[in-house]
Amino acid sequence: MKPDKRDWAVLALTLLVCLPFIAGCGDKGSANIKQPDPEREVAVAPARKGNLAEILSLTGTLLAAQEVKITSKIPGRVDKVLVEEGTPVKAGDVLIKLEQRELLLAVKQAEAAVATAEAGLAKVLAGTRKEKIDQAEAALAQAKANVDICKISFERMNNLLKDRSIPRTKYDEAKARYDAALAQYKSAQAQLEMAKTGATREDIDIARAQVGQAGAALATARRQYQNATITSPIHGVVAHKNVEPGEVVSPPMMPGKALLDLVDMRYLKTMVNISENRVNAVRLGQEAIITLDGFPGEIFPGKVSKISPVVDPRSRTFKAEIMIKNPENRLKPGMFARVKLVLNKQMDIVKVPLEAVTEREGGKIVFLTLNGNAKAQPVTLGISDGVYVEVISGVNAGENVIVEGNLGLEDGDRIVLKASRKSK
């Protein structure tokens, strides 16, 4: 019997209902088939034998090794300024002159005072002139004659008094004249002795003190005169000029201002900060390598000239000074400097690029390549120069280590080298 149209309709409806279930069963079966893990794209570099230096990288700003502010030691008016900004100077070169006329006059007056004091001392030391002695001898002779006369008169009055021929008052007057004559005679003797002996030690000391005082005043006047000529204390360059002729200047304690700023450009320095855990590896005289953005590709040698003995409480670092030669004056204060200090050197060791090292579970590892898979390899590391790191154990020279693509990489992951990855 042939099926009728209703049978065909039922069959079609049944197929429509069951078709999704049939398709679903087919998908489930294919999902149970495990797909291969995707390959990780990586780059590798070989571990190499060689030498390695541990580098401490620091930064700083170039400063003049020596800066001097020029001031006036005396008050005065500026007569001449002999330099401009940028003028190179040597130690002893004249920079500024103050007006000197009044200072020179003070020197002349002090010289005259010294001459007067020296003449007075010479006179005291030379003693009394002969005419003074002659005068003293004449005065003594006159006093002696007066004593003789008064003595005769006194003796006569004494005899008359005994005879009661004169009153007592006459006797007393004669005795007083005689005593006065004796006193005058003794004084004349002393004056003659002093004239013959010369000046006393006290007179000499006073005269010498006067010479000393006059000499000190002369030295002060000369020093003031010399200070009116201001010279350079260093070899350097005039960095700033802050004075013009005609201005009145004063010593810094009054207070004054810096007339000129000088900088010694033969050497420059930079101050760097060294961490607590590295400062003991840095020593005075240690060589430094300096590079500057203003001189790309050039290296300037330097040396550690100072290391602070105390830590900065805020930064927890030690300040160190790096001195740099600047014979051609190419380097300028204010330039940004990159400083490298060689702390340690290792010879003939195995080293790998620093980016090959990662940290997992508290240990250092690198990833090697093994039959298209990544192999996690624990390593013991030594010093680093910031580009390479020493591998004490775990990797042999010649083995390839993954240097790119190792972030998030796991042991056993499938890898493909960038250079050999097939294009899709």
The kind and range of the H/E element at 249 are strand 248-249
Nearest to 81 by CA among 92, 93, 97: 97
pLDDT per residue as tens digits for the range 96-141 = 999 999 999 999 999 999 999 999 888 777 765 676 778 888 998 9
CA angle, 63 then 69 then 73, to 5° = 165
Tokens of 390: 């020493």
Domain 56-62+264-346 fold is: Elongation Factor Tu (Ef-tu); domain 3 (2.40.30)
- CATH topology match: 41-53+347-420 vs 72-99+228-258: no
pLDDT computed for residue 169 by the predictor: 85
Output 279-288 pairs: Cβ under 8 A, ≥24 positions apart: 279/307, 279/318, 279/320, 281/56, 281/343, 281/344, 282/56, 282/307, 282/320, 282/341, 282/343, 283/307, 286/341, 286/342, 287/341, 287/342, 288/322, 288/339, 288/340, 288/341
Task: Mention the CATH class of domain 41-53+347-420.
Answer: mainly beta
The torsion of the CA quartet 329, 335, 341, 347, rounded to 10 degrees, works out to -80
What does the pLDDT read at residue 341? 92
What is the structure's pLDDT at 340? 93
Ranges of each domain in the chain: 41-53+347-420, 56-62+264-346, 72-99+228-258, 111-214
Q: State the pLDDT at residue 30.
A: 47
Task: Determine the CATH number of domain 72-99+228-258.
Answer: 2.40.50.100
Percent of the chain clearing pLDDT 90 (strictly above): 63
Integer Cα distance of 257 and 260 in angstroms: 9
Which residue type is seen at 276? E
In the block, residue with structure tokens 């002996």? 197
Integer-rounded Cα Rg, in Å, for the chain is 55
Q: Are 85 and 244 in contact (CB under 8 A)?
A: no
Q: Which residue has the tokens 């000129």?
A: 260
Q: Is the pTM of this model over 0.85?
A: no
Positions in the chain whose pLDDT score sits under 50: 1-2, 5-6, 8-13, 15-31, 420-424
